[in-house]
A and B are shown apart, each in its own frame.
Chain A
Amino acid sequence: MPQTTVTTVPSFEQVAALPAITSTVVPQEYVDFNGHMNVLYHLQLDLQGCGQVFQKVLSVNDVYRAETGNTIFTAEHHLRYYAEARLGEKTTTHARMIGRSDKVFHLMVFLLNHDTQQLVNTLEATLIHVNLHSRRPTPMPNEVVAAIDTMIEQGAGLGWEAPVCGSMGPRR
């Protein structure tokens, strides 16, 4: 079942208590005619955070793909833009796991602006473990499931709810 929408947004300090995964100073080429980082680059930075979670936390990397023939495809993304990031400002990404089934997991990445001390945006993602030959969903192995469950537990202990949109996630 879809989760309930969470409208309370965590503070900068709450998100910053999660480890920083990537760090980027906004370059000129990310800035659009409105004088702020364009939405395309919010997604790009958020996806760099996702990629680090896949590779470093879940160990779904080139070796995993070569050995298992499996990888992760995206089913859905929900992005919320809360505050601007401008030229030269320092941003970091932080991640929290929301839930999973045997083939699907639900992840949220947060982008912080350290110059303004604001949450810039969130990326909520529904991700599917797929076989690259069949292009169809396939169950995740135990070690990936265990890494996801550890992240879910860490998130549950934070004392604040992830601001999910309420219409995404694995079927239960």
Chain B
Amino acid sequence: MPETTSKPAHPTVEQITALPVTQTTVIPEEFIDQYGHMNVRFHLQIGLGGFPRLYETDTEGTDERSDPLPGLGGLFTAEHHLRYHAEAKLGETVTTHARIIGHSDKVIHVMMLNVNRDTEQLSSTLEATLIHVDLDTRRPTPMPAEMATYLDRQIEQQETLGWDAPVCGAMGVRR
């Protein structure tokens, strides 16, 4: 957006859609606001719905983990960064694609990219950092080793894509 601070070049629709689809949404009436487009709240909602799996037997989305690993705690969000690139209107189909950007033993950094398949435009991105927490103490605690291994494998595979996720630069994992 030329009127705001400079941004990294974002990947093309062809590049993004080469990633698996984590969620498909046909924009329903209740997502549309007074301006005739999907309200920002639903960009967040569909981004979260397309959250990638975090271990082999996990499912997509941010609902309760379907098949929790031993030692799995909760995942609390530390930060979200949303960029709204293009409108999505009633009846248009948006596919969500996800990249795992990095992780430490307690923090995960991901990006969900929402692509409008009717206009062939990147509609929005949702960048997120999440903290693995002990649900009793509500404090950060290391994630199960199986999750870390799975995330490493995803990151390694996605590094071969040839494009960087268009991160905001103000978030990430302390190393």
A interface vs B, CB < 8 Å? 1-2, 5, 33-35, 39-40, 43-44, 47, 71, 73-81, 84, 101, 103-104, 126, 128, 132, 135, 137, 165-171
What are 7 A-to-B residue pairs whose CB atoms are below 8 Å? A40-B45, A43-B41, A75-B1, A78-B80, A79-B79, A103-B3, A104-B3
Question: Which label, helix, strand, loop or mixed, suits the secondary structure of the A interface?
Answer: mixed
B63 touches A33 (CB 8 A): yes
| B40 and chain A: residue at smallest CB distance | A74
CB distance from A20 to the nearest CB of B (A): 22
A-contact bits for B130-168, CB 8 A (1 contact / 0 none):
000001001000000000000000000000000000001
A75 touches B44 (CB 8 A): no
Q: B24-32, B82-90, B93-101, B112-120: which lies at the A interface?
A: B82-90
**Contact check: which of B2, B4, B35, B63 meets A76 at CB < 8 Å?**
B4
Count of chain A to chain B residue pairs whose CB atoms are closer than 8 Å in the complex: 98
The answer, yes or no, to whether B18 is at the interface (CB within 8 Å) is no
A77 touches B4 (CB 8 A): no
Please tell me the number of chain B residues within 8 Å of chain A, measured between CB atoms: 31
| B73 and chain A: residue at smallest CB distance | A34
**Contact check: which of A35, A75, A78 meets B170 at CB < 8 Å?**
A78
